[in-house]
Amino acid sequence: MTWRGQIDVSVNTAGIIQSAGIDDDLHLWSSVWQTTLQVNLIAVADLCRDAIRHFRDRAGGIIINVASRAAFRGDAPDYIHYAASKGGVIALTRSIARGFAADNILAFAVAPGFVKTEMAEVFIQESGEVAATCDIPLGNIAPPQDVAHVITFLSSGSAPHMTGTTIDINGASYMH
């Protein structure tokens, strides 16, 4: 099968989280901030730029960026850089929606809380599942399928007037 040479949807899911507190060495603090912003925000912005340029030539497309509930509620002191990077993803997504809707380019964000992924497993192993679920009223960690179903819906183009919105997927642990 040959690739058709067209991209209709860009889903940006990359993300890292590393610990760096205010009492850590300045070099570590700065390094973690720079790495986190590079992966979680700047790389996403670069991919969005490429997608927008591609979509303008093809009469439209859809961008879906994965942020985090941390973008809205903040995070623990050792992870404020993560929350800041994901807050940037929300602002990026909203700006794209406002700036390129006339080009039929739709932009959405999803903001998961804990999702049963390898990244969450590290936290769960270190802190225990109770620590991960204690503030989730639904009582359990979201399966990856919950996020995938929302991304699939947004990818369908079925609700273009939702452009610029963020969908929370966090078991009611944070709603904005």
Active site residues: 82
**11 falls within a domain:** no
**13 falls within a domain:** no
**9 falls within a domain:** no
pLDDT tens for the chain, residues 1 to 176? 455 678 999 999 989 999 999 999 999 999 999 999 999 999 999 999 999 999 999 999 999 999 999 999 999 999 999 999 999 999 999 999 999 999 999 999 999 998 988 878 887 888 888 878 888 888 888 999 999 999 999 999 999 999 999 999 998 888 77
Q: Residue 131: give its domain's CATH number.
A: 3.40.50.720
- Give the number of domains in the chain: 1
Model confidence pTM above 0.85: yes
**4 falls within a domain:** no
Asked if 66 contacts 110 with a C-beta cutoff of 8 angstroms, the reply is: yes
**153 falls within a domain:** yes
Alpha-carbon torsion (56, 58, 60, 61), positive or negative: negative
Domain hosting residue 131, numbered range:
21-169
